[in-house]
Structure 1
Amino acid sequence: MTETQALIENRPPSVATLFLDRVEATPDAEAYRYPVPATGEGPDTWAALTWRQAADRVFAVAAGLIDLGILPEERVALASATRVEWILADLGIMCAGAATTPVYPSTDADETAFMLADAECRILIAEDAAQLAKARLRRAELPGLAHVVVIDAADATPAEGDPEGWVLSLADLEKRGTALLERRPQAVRERIEALRPEQLATLIYTSGTTGRPKGVRLRHDAWSYMSRAIEATELVRPDDVQYLWLPLAHVFGKVLTTGHIAVGHITAVDGRIDKIVENLPVVRPTYMAAVPRIFEKVYNGVAAKARAAGGAKYKIFRWAADVAREYAKVSQDNYRRTGSKAVPFALAAKHRVADALVYAKIREAFGGRLRACVSGASALAPDIGYFFAGAGIHILEGYGLTETSAANLVNPGDAYRTGTVGKPLPGTEVRIADDGEILLRGPGVMEGYHRQPEKTAEVLESDGWFHTGDIGELSPDGYLRITDRKKDLIKTSGGKYVAPAEIEGRFKAVCPFVSSILVHGADRNYCTALIALDGPAVLDWAKDHGLAGKPYAEVVAAPETHAMVEGYVQRLNEGLQRWQTIKKFRLLPRELDVEHGELTPSLKLKRPVVERTYKDLIEEMYAGAREA
């Protein structure tokens, strides 16, 4: 047995046990940094917790939950932005033997209530008054919700009609826990010792094509495996400083907290997206994970500054960007063939000049110490990846799904290849089915969908192979490239799933003039739509809006028509989650039809054909979103 195999096979039975092992190994080492917002106009300050201090709070949360009557595997929902209290609460839930149900704080009241009811959550840990209000609004639909614990103490205000003790603050919960531990010092350790690998640790909801999300059941064993597999890659080191801003309600963010415990490095936690640029030079991370949209925004920001500075500086930037991409491609190709990243002398000379003029400033903006970034949740545009690689910001793309605990493949350090998602983590198997679909098997694969055995059977075979729904290809030496999506479900570059058919159906119900609509957004930072209007209906409308007698193409090109449709799009967006909303649209010059191959004989939309035919219109809607 190799050292790596031993590390993984001898993994602890639970995340809670893993946490205890870490605390005992390095009790006084720094575990977490977190911002303390400034009271005036000055900058935020940063506080720290050692592993021992973190454990004290985690045990207080766990004991508080036990005191409130939580039982093993019962669900505790956690609706909060990324902050250190999220991590402490999640660990407290698991140390109490319960299971966490994460909820995005941006999720509306209807969907929040659905998830809490479907998961049969006994307790909700809510960030603030806004999250408390969602539970209060739908309390009648949540008879099993015994308590709401509010992180921001000032917002933990009971309202008229609340049952006694229904609302309490996180500080109150910790006080209850501390009091319980004074009476029963071993209460939490007894729960941890009783945990078994097959017990439920996380019930996390993922969007499906039918609109309602599905609950993915992930066991303790899945997370303890992930922790050891990440540790075995040696991509993350004990002396690293990680900047963690990703949503912890997303499985990608969650797996980072697990890997952190195994490795024992420092994690700086702040989920405020608008603070990323400000925080990077302060935190000075050596390691960071992100979704492609962040790299797109950084690249766009650099390009915009160069453009605003004038023609000469913009020309220098574009030249440096081309050099970066060429340098990255040549060095990666050489490494694949010879094991050396050496490049020709002339290219190396240009790269040195570009580094002094452009790249060094970019690295400094990331804090100056960034050794590697991991990009996941959706595909990174290769041009963006090559640019950053050439500029010395090494982006290691990875791949995984909620159903497989997020991290299944990742690019291996110096041997990373832009445009691929790397190789499987130790202990994970990958194969390509006859139809090109990617199948995964390993300890990280889910137990199944919560209370949906028929849905589970659709994707999970009896021998453990999980059908991802993505199409890909494996290189002879084991690198996976994602080439397509098997289903129409799309994922934005921010990692959000969108079901286009659902949105298209809603729009048809809202707008009486639509003939066909195609929602686009896969691997893009927002959704757009191509809309074809119904000829007779829109020509009839035109008569009363100064466009009488105009042919169809002129009517749909008129500003009045665009404004009319825009009103319906706004109405549509009011009923959607933020990431589903249509930011831009274009009206097609003619209706879609069978003759042009855009519709099937049964009048179903053929997406690839429409997207290919109107590629220029789609690109136009994203012009400026990413510098070419």
Structure 2
Amino acid sequence: MPAAITSDFRSVPDMLRDRVQRSGDSEAFRYPDGDQWRSLTWSQTWERARAIALGLHAIGLRSQQRCGILASTRIEWILADMGVMCAGGATTTIYPTTTAEGCAYIIADSDSTIVFAEDDEQIAKLREQRAHLPDLARVITFDGTPDGDWVLSLSDLEAKGRELGEAQPDLFDSLVDAVDTEDLATLIYTSGTTGNPKGVRLAQANWTYVAEAMHETGEMTAEDVQYLWLPLSHVFGKVLQVGQIRTGYLTAVDGRIDKIVDNLAEVRPTFVAGAPRIFEKIYNKVVMQAKEGGELKYTIFRWACAVGLEISHLQQEGKHPGLALKVQHAIADKLVFAKLREKFGGRLRFFISGSAALAPDIARFFHAAGVLIAEGYGLTETTAASFVNRTNDFRIGTVGQPLPGTEVRIAEDGEVLLRGGGVMRGYHNMPEATAEVLDADGWFHTGDIGELDEAGRLRITDRKKDLIKTSGGKYVAPQSVEGKLKAQCPYLSNVVVFGDKQPYCSALVTLDEESIAEWARANDLGSLSYAELAEHPKTHELVGAAIEDLNATLNRHETIKTFKVLPRELSIEHNEVTPSLKIKRKAVADNHREVLEELYPSTVESL
């Protein structure tokens, strides 16, 4: 049993106050303002959080009352969250892509009485559903239009807070002191692959535990620079925000996806976290650029990758390359890999990957280029941080060892069970659902299938409910096959493998718009639309060849016998992927039922 991790802090606000006392004049945040980056020191951050907290108190927020944040990742999201917790409230996180009806469900189910809304578009969703939200007393907007009544600007809220602070100078510290270990801190609604989302109740103690456990690993230091673009509505982004408070590193925050490449060059971070789809897109682009450079350039690229992969394998085995291989690697690095690292800003120590499975071949490519993707694992219900590969002890294809203080057990059926300080306090208003996943001994049943290696590293093989059992009685782990195909073919964005109770496996695939457009231009198909390319025989031949190559490496029952290129990408709008980019298999099957009927002429009922 691992040693328990304890914190000196009762709450995140208590931890934040300590950080300000230690690092007050140091830069805490960097954020975009027009074409420039601006900064906040820890002391300035504290003053903003103080004004927001007292403003919320002035308009009626009380201990553990819920306050929603409906906004993209930006500095105001972080300040609002800090203000809510310092006031003693609890933050309800809402993805900005959530529909008006979805927002209303979360706000009503969580009993949120105040909501921070990013702009007029988000305010419009709340106005549309206002009749169904009688307890929503106030809306605070970052960039939207105040109405002098229901909608208040953030600056006006802070002005109210400063006024209250002048009248009652000891009030803020007393609010922070009153926040206790088991107080509700955050309600995060799992986007779920079926049904309504469930509100995961995370206490102050959950966040202080993961912050201490991450700090104890020593992977991040106060000298690091984080670039944070992940959705803060998701537990993965939120845990990195809390980890920053404990360790004190600088965070540059900007949630605009289209600015990631430019921001990497400007911010020059030392670590960045992301979902696998981001790394897949980078990989696809690098491979495409190498191919477009001509046969010689592509030959050099493939040779460099082969050398890098050999070095990567030796490093994972704790071995050192010989002189000849060292020389080859130095040449490969100069010709290929150094240029790639420079695109990441030139200071990057590692990436962190989470929220979904990372294809090992993608991880191997990056490591061959001298950039470690430290894959980790956790769930909303375990406050995100449960396992992670360490920079000095990693194994590609695993999610590493547990964080200090987290226990793991593999059940008889292969399900991964977790216990420790990160485990949630339950689902909001759902005692029966809570009892289904939390047993009497405190073990959380993850629903994931996995195994531990000799060093205690966890390998996730699939979701328990996603395992395919063919009509021949053979089991297939679809995520493994899907990841391999995406690494095999840089022109694909999503792959969904089916075959439960069927005689063979099939796949629905979507094209990566950027990569396939470049391929189309090179093949005199540049005038065709995405949908037209999806139907074109040359595209079918391209994807079919990749599947044929993949099948040669799989067991017979795992091979993909038939496939279809879908006429559009999978999307959040069509309910096919979650905001954290997880595939909703049932929704994909339902939305493309006719296509599956073509692939399985007899029946698709079990899919």
Change over 3 Å in CA distance of 1:346–1:572 after alignment to 2: closer
Partner residue of 1:25? 22
**1:335-387 Cα shifts (integer Å, max 9, x gaps):** 1xxxxx41233322221111000000011000000011111111111111111
Q: Say whether 1:486 aligns with 2:464.
A: yes
- Within a 5 Å distance, the mapping from 1:89-168 to structure 2 comes to 89-152=80-143, 155-158=144-147, 165-168=149-152
Q: Provide the C-alpha distance between the structure 2 equivalents of 1:421 and 1:572, rounded to a whole number of angstroms.
A: 27
The letter of the residue matching 2:57 is I
For residues 485-538 of structure 1, give each alpha carbon's deviation from its aligned partner in whole angstroms, at most 9, with x where no partner exists: 1013999999xxx9x99x99xxxxxxxxxxx9988689x989xxxxxxxxxxxx
Name which of structure 1's ranges 309-318 and 416-425 shifts more when overlaid on structure 2.
309-318
Q: Partner of 2:347 in structure 1?
A: 369
Q: Distance in 1 between matches of 2:432 and 2:444?
A: 14
Question: Quick one: which of 9, 15, 19 aligns to 2:12?
Answer: 15
1:441 aligns with 2:419: yes
Find the aligned partners of 2:402 and 2:164 in 1 and give their Cα distance: 44
Q: How many angstroms apart in 2 are the aligned matches of 1:468 and 1:525?
A: 31
- Confirm or deny: 8 A CA contact 2:7 2:208 kept in the other structure: no
- The 1:420/1:86 distance shift into structure 2, 3 A limit, reads same
Using the size of structure 2 for normalisation, the TM-score is: 0.80
Larger Rg: 1
Q: Which residue of 2 aligns with 1:56?
A: 47
Q: Deviations over 1:185-213 (max 9, x none)?
A: 12221111111111100000003343210
How much does 1:446 deviate? 0.3
**Contact residue 54 and residue 162 of structure 2 kept, 8 A:** yes
The answer for the alignment partner of 1:543 in structure 2 is none
For structure 2, the 5+ residue unaligned runs are 468-477, 487-493, 514-564, 579-583
Letter in 2 for 1:30: E
Q: 1:590 to 1:464 in 2, by over 3 A?
A: closer
Amino acid at match of 2:137: A
Contact 2:27 2:40 (C-alpha < 8 Å) held by counterparts:
yes
The Cα shift of 1:592 comes to: 4.4
Q: 1:11 touches 1:225 (CA, 8 Å); kept in 2?
A: no
- The CA RMSD measured in Å over matched residues stands at 3.1
The question of whether the paired residues in 2 share the 8 Å contact of 1:108 and 1:577 is answered with: no
Identity of aligned residues (%): 51
Secondary structure, counterpart of 1:196 in structure 2: coil
- Is 2:212 aligned against 1:228? yes
Q: 1:604 to 1:404 in 2, by over 3 A?
A: same
Question: For 2:512 and 2:206, how far apart are their aligned partners in 1?
Answer: 30
Q: Secondary structure at the match of 1:448?
A: coil
- Whether the 8 Å contact between 1:293 and 1:525 is mirrored in structure 2 is no
Which consecutive unaligned segments of at least 5 residues does structure 1 have?
38-43, 159-163, 336-340, 505-515, 527-564, 606-628
Aligned pairs for 1:351-500 within 5 A: 351-488=329-466
* Count, aligned residues: 519
Q: 1:485 to 1:576 in 2, by over 3 A?
A: closer
Give the direction of change, closer, same or farther, for the CA distance of 1:308–1:106 in structure 2 (3 Å limit): same
Cα distance, 1:239–1:28 mapped onto 2, change above 3 Å: same
After superposition, give the CA deviation of every residue in 1:306-352 in whole Å (9 maximum; x if it has no partner).
Answer: 1122121112112222222222112211x1xxxxx412333222211
CA contact (8 A) 1:324 1:388 kept: no
Residue aligned with 2:134, SS: coil
Q: 1:414 to 1:570 in 2, by over 3 A?
A: closer
Deviation at 1:22, TM superposition (A): 0.3
Contact 2:74 2:255 in 1 (8 A): yes
1:70 and 1:83 map into 2 onto residues whose CA distance is 23
CA distance in 1, matches of 2:293, 2:243: 42
Please report how far the alpha carbon of residue 576 of structure 1 lies from its aligned counterpart in structure 2 after TM superposition: 3.1
Residue 575 of structure 1, CA deviation: 4.8
- The aligned counterpart of 1:313 is 297
SS at match of 1:185: coil
Q: 1:273 to 1:474 in 2, by over 3 A?
A: same
Q: TM-score, with normalisation over the residues of structure 1?
A: 0.78
**How far apart, in 1, do the equivalents of 2:505 and 2:295 lie?**
40
Cα distance in 2 for partners of 1:374, 1:571 equals: 24
1:321 counterpart letter in structure 2: C
- 3-state DSSP class of the match of 2:466? coil
1:210 and 1:329, CA in 2 relative to 1: closer, same or farther beyond 3 A? same
